Structure 1
Amino acid sequence: MTEQKRVLGFIGGSGVYSMDALEDAQRRQVDTPWGAPSDALTCGRLNGVEVVFLARHGAGHKLPPSHINYRANIDAMKRAGVTDLVSVSACGSFREALTPGTFVIADQFIDRTTMRPKSFFGPGFVAHVSMADPVCPALADAMEASCEALGVPVQRGGTYICIDGPQFSSRAESHLYRSWGCDVIGMTNMPEAKLAREAELPYATAAMVTDYDCWHETEGAVEVGLILETLKRNTANAARMAADLAQRLGPTRTPSPLGVETALDMAVITPEEARDPEMMKRLDAVAGRLFKR
């Protein structure tokens, strides 16, 4: 397989608002057809790898989960040349063994959000990407290896259920999601993972456990004040993982084993002659590869 230059994208969730280890870091404002991303991109190098970082909630954590412009965030990453996308986010645990501080390298998602635009495509240009396997196994392998090398508690694989928030679950909801076989619960990985696939970006996520949600009989109900200490520890471990991950992946890459880089080849339904020109303009970064053939 042909190697190409790697540009590693990081999206930081709650508690992860910067990457202080970046060398030659520069802030870059990026305009997208979908509006403004959560914050300026920070571009630099980490252990010899070009890196682009974005704080999902913006500086100062100003954006609640359902007010994040997920389309602008993914478009901006694609526009900045990102080739591989890694996400970190806080989550609650549905499993006794997934204690606070554990990083869950999720491989499946259940999307229960209702308030967020979930696709770059729409009337005038229709596409249906496969989400059967939403996470790139090569990225997930590397993230797991980094956590193990650093002594960060990690579980490879698991189902992440995404809710709108900003409220935490009721006890009834928490028990329901456990009965569905979910491992962790969060508010931000959807539609992020779906949009990454539409943008042909290999994606993986580390869901960093901060609490047991509210199903646990001996733990208190979820409150922000109770999870802040765990959040600080998770943030420090996320920075360590990012540095090791960049070094582990290296400055060159081969295509994702899932063929994510050509996901749109089998997804676009609308023939060229029927595509809306205005929609095509908006898709210049996300689907521009198709227009150059």
Structure 2
Amino acid sequence: MLETKIGVIGGSGLYDIDGLQNSKWQAVDSPWGAPSDELLTGTLDGVEIVFLPRHGRGHVHSPGSVPYRANIDALKRLGVTDVISVSACGSFQEHMAPGHFVIVDQFIDRTTARENSFFGTGCVAHVSVAHPTCPRLSQACQDAAEAQEITVHRGGTYLAMEGPQFSSLAESRMYREVWGCDVIGMTNMPEARLAREAELCYASVAMITDYDSWHPDHGEVDVTAIIKTLMGNSAQAKGMIARLPALLGLERYDCPHGCDKSLEFAIMTAPEMRSPALLAKLDAVAGRVL
């Protein structure tokens, strides 16, 4: 049996965590390049926490330049068992208002220019992302948000766009009216795919900052209003995160949904045909099965 080790990937406005005991920023070397920043490690209520600012402190990475593979590899390399992704998002639903949180359970990936897998020529693998988030971990996030008195919606489809520009009105209407999406952001893909390949339980918490551009009373994204809402959301997110250790506990049992066994039958390349160079890079991500 493992001990729980919670990884938190903080999005726009969330660059650290308050209240960590024995906290320190730690550099992690990854064969997939440098992560977005050093990782903040420490404990909350006796549970180990690893925090990674997705855009780096000072917000130096755009959504397209975030080193997603290095980030997930670094978390896995430090022994993280559960990853909570927190990100700022726009809303396509009237009832999912700015200031609310959404526990995402599905994605539509419209990103086009990002490395989206640890595997490839020399070691081919196919994992299922039919259900890309972990229900157990998502429930813990919902419970923590409710305890923090955040208005939280369970379940929603996240449209991942390439960015860095916001949507056109026509795109916003299509994502809402034709595709039935609930929120829109720029960073949860390929992050969720990579977490699944790394056999990490992954939950996505979307912090609503605006109504994108579809809303008749909000004709375009107002960056000033977004920043104001973002600051309030980030403070609430820190409170939510602080409640997670008590909910998840010290002891980490096998995931009942199989997130931590996603590579069990996924690798297709015959052992004698696998690339030694690629296998060396996969030591943390896929070491359990390789």
Give the alignment's TM-score, normalised by structure 1: 0.97
Over the matched positions of the two proteins, sequence identity in percent amounts to: 57
Q: Deviations over 1:63-89 (max 9, x none)?
A: 000000000000000001101100100
Matches within 5 A, 1:186-197: 186-197=185-196
- The alpha-carbon deviation at position 163 of structure 1 amounts to 0.5
User: Is contact 1:137-1:257 (8 Å) kept?
Assistant: no
Whether contact under 8 Å (1:12, 1:54) holds in the other structure is yes
Residue 220 of structure 1: how far off its partner (Å): 3.6
Displacement, 1:135?
A: 0.6
Partner of 1:73: 71
Task: Quote the Cα distance in structure 2 between the aligned partners of 1:169 and 1:220.
Answer: 11
Q: Are positions 1:48 and 2:72 aligned together?
A: no
In 2, are the aligned partners of 1:104 and 1:154 still within 8 Å (CA)?
Answer: yes
Q: Does 1:246 align with 2:209?
A: no
Mapping for residues 1-293 of structure 1, pairs under 5 Å: 3-179=1-177, 180-291=179-290
* Secondary structure in structure 2 of the residue aligned to 1:289: coil
* Residue type of the alignment partner of 1:224: V
- Alpha-carbon displacement from aligned partner over 1:216-260 (angstroms, at most 9, x marks no partner): 001141032121111011000000000011221111121222211
Contact 1:146–1:241 at 8 Å: present in 2 too?
A: yes
Give the Å deviation of 1:4: 2.2
Structure 1 gap ranges (5+):
none
Q: Deviations 1:30-89 (Å, cap 9, x if unpaired)?
A: 111110000001110012210000000001001000000000000000001101100100
CA drift of 1:122 comes to 0.4
CA distance in 2, matches of 1:128, 1:120: 11
SS at match of 2:263: helix
Q: In the TM superposition, what is the alpha-carbon distance from 1:115 to its structure 2 partner? A: 0.8
Secondary structure, aligned partner of 1:264: coil
Q: Which moves more between the two structures, 242-251 or 126-135?
A: 242-251
- Contact in 2 for aligned 1:104/1:157 (Cα 8 Å): yes
**SS of structure 2 residue aligned to 1:236:** helix
Counterparts of 1:175 and 1:147, CA distance in 2: 29
* Distance (Å, rounded) in 1 between the aligned partners of 2:68 and 2:280: 18
Cα shift at 1:173: 0.2
**Letter of the structure 1 residue corresponding to residue 172 of structure 2:** S
Whole-angstrom distance in 1 between the partners of 2:197 and 2:87: 21
Unaligned runs of 5+ in 2: none
Deviations 1:94-124 (A, max 9, x none): 0000000111000000100001000000001
Name the aligned partner's letter for residue 233 of structure 2.
Answer: N
Equivalent position SS for 1:185:
strand
